[in-house]
Amino acid sequence: MPEVKETKAQRVERLKREKNAWDHLDEIRQFARQGHSSIPHEWLGTYFRPWGIYTQGDGLGVVGGSGGEGKSTPFFMVRIRIPNGLLTSHQLRTIANLSTEHGNGVADITVRQNIQLHWVRIESIPEILDRLHAIGLSTTGACGDVARNITGCPLAGVHAHELADVSPFVQALDKELGGNPEFYNLPRKFKITLTACPDWCSYPEINDIALIATRRAASPNRSVAAALRHPLGVLGTAFRGGPPTQPNPDPSLTHHAPDEIGFSVRVAGGLSTQPHLAVPLNAFIRWDQAIPVVRAITELFRQSDVLRQSRDKARLKYLFLEHGWTADSFLAALQSRLGYSLDPAEPNQPPPQVHRDHLGVVPQKQPGQFSIGASVIRGRVTPAQLTLAADLAERYGDGHVRNTPMQNLLLINIPKAHVSTVTNELTSAGLPVESSSFTRGTVACTGSEFCKLALTETKSYARWLTEQLEDRFPNYQEQLRLHITGCPNSCGQHWIADIGIEGKKIKSNGKMIDAYYFCVGGSVGQIATIARPVGYRCPADEVPNAIARLLDYFHEEREPNETLQKFLARYSTESLRNVLAGGPVEIAERDLAVAAAPHSVEDR
């Protein structure tokens, strides 16, 4: 009989069963001593990933490669896992130095609050890992088929309207899952967020698990003692890494003592080529139940063998998209695994359409203290900017800096007397605190500069595009989300943008050039919806004209106080396509990804 060829999914599953890469740091050290040529293919393609390490593309993206993936170089991307985006100035300064010494001075803040270094040689990786470990950071679990970095609100602990500071909970949960061999071999990447932010800034709608703080009124069936206990006090030894540090209770909540703060839960969110918004479960999660619930959901995912048959249909969302699961059946499976029933959910209204970036100067819950959020244009940040942020945090604040899910930087606990000084220094360094809606609302994936799957260059293009739009619409302040992704895999999250553009290649004058396909009307919050592909595609240099036509039409035809989101929802796909094109135009087909659900360098 002819030999049956191993599929890609079968090969990856076999390699993960054969070796837990976290147990073999010694091999990485050996590769560093012997050079890049000593690295076997299974490390380059599989085992480096759970260490937060990817091979770097040659700058041409998918073009010139084979099998839907571009050519690799002898360099690596190294992703640093930063739970909740929380950093000290010392940690940030160390990352800046590592970028200078080992990464050609290039670093990116990701949409999962991590920082990525580029241009890293194998010879540098052991030193990077050791220096990160020495300051309490790691790359473990930042990539691969594992529980990825756990995100949360970057204003946790200082947000004037949060229900509680849950950042210690995030840190403890990260210790529970990050690097835990029990969760090394999941079917695919697994993304978790835990937040008490009233703006839902960590995007629970697109995570595999989202725990969102909520309050329920006191009940005669629950003891007052249970309602009054501090949320983190009940965790005890439930955490593999030991109990989290006990924070001070939020004094603003004392008059709600009879009420109980817990979590609502959503599951199976994700984007990529088949977007799916997270499904709310009819469950109220008490604080002491949160760790068991997260573990149980992760275990359900781990044991879903049906998701291991195909790499491009291995995310949790495919239980709902293709295997008939519903919110009720998922909850039943969860409760069966827990061995007890969960209380019914409390009403948990998503926030209205608001900026979720926490940019600008914002009063904290602490009197006289302010957070200062600065735009990191396209998420690309230099060592000098990182060092400046660290210095300002030490000089004027309490030495803490935070990354946001919108790829920006926050300084916290800045006294009112120093706000102007900090704002001016950040702005002078190219980190504007006040910015246009285009700069503020633009997100870009890594693109062909480093990613082997991208069709288009995105980082420099994002800067050029925002500058073009700012020239045409000076002082534009309407809320706008403009997301740029270099291929159909939605690393730039274009499915939840007002205007999302997806990288393509088209032929012009006998040459292949960068182009973009438009998807419009995506949103999160109260009117959460996936963006519509409108059938319009144009060369990259024509995109500003198309967006300008759409925005001009919006301002001419909008109803009083109508948002762009609601305006786009009122119009047909054909109408929007013709507006973007400047007249009637044939439908352009949206080509799907060349590669099947690949590993990209993205942190989506």
Looking at residue 260, what is its pLDDT?
93
Looking at residue 603, what is its pLDDT?
58
Looking at residue 60, what is its pLDDT?
78
Please answer whether residues 83 and 124 qualify as being in contact, where contact means their C-beta atoms are separated by less than 8 angstroms: no
Treating both helix axes as pointing N-terminal to C-terminal, what angle do 419-428 and 383-396 enclose, rounded to 10 degrees? 170
Q: What angle do CA 118, 436, 497 make, to 5 degrees?
A: 65
Three-state DSSP class for residue 292? helix
Domains of the chain from N-terminus onward: 8-134 (3.90.480.20), 167-338 (3.30.413.10), 360-435 (3.30.70.3340), 439-581 (3.30.413.10)
Q: Listing from the earlier edge strand, what are the strands of the sheet with 192-195?
A: 192-195, 209-216, 260-267, 279-280
Please answer whether residues 80 and 117 qualify as being in contact, where contact means their C-beta atoms are separated by less than 8 angstroms: yes
Residue type, 254: T
Each residue of 395-415: b (16+ CB within 10 Å) or e? Answer: ebbebbbbbbbbbbbbbbbbe
CB burial class (10 A; 0-12, 13-18, 19+) of residue 215? middle
Looking at residue 248, what is its pLDDT?
42
Looking at residue 66, what is its pLDDT?
62
Alpha carbon 376 to chain centroid, angstroms: 15
Residue type, 298: T
Looking at residue 246, what is its pLDDT?
36
Looking at residue 371, what is its pLDDT?
98
Pairing of strands 107-109, 380-381: antiparallel
Please answer whether residues 216 and 233 qualify as being in contact, where contact means their C-beta atoms are separated by less than 8 angstroms: no
Looking at residue 249, what is its pLDDT?
41
Compute and round to an integer the Cα radius of gyration of the chain.
24
Neighbours of 246 (CB within 10 A): 11
- pLDDT means per 10 residues, the chain with 604 residues, are 82 96 98 98 96 90 69 94 98 98 96 96 98 98 96 97 94 92 96 96 96 86 48 44 40 54 96 92 96 96 97 96 97 98 93 85 97 93 98 98 95 98 98 91 87 89 94 90 89 91 92 94 90 95 97 96 92 96 92 49 53
Please answer whether residues 49 and 144 qualify as being in contact, where contact means their C-beta atoms are separated by less than 8 angstroms: yes
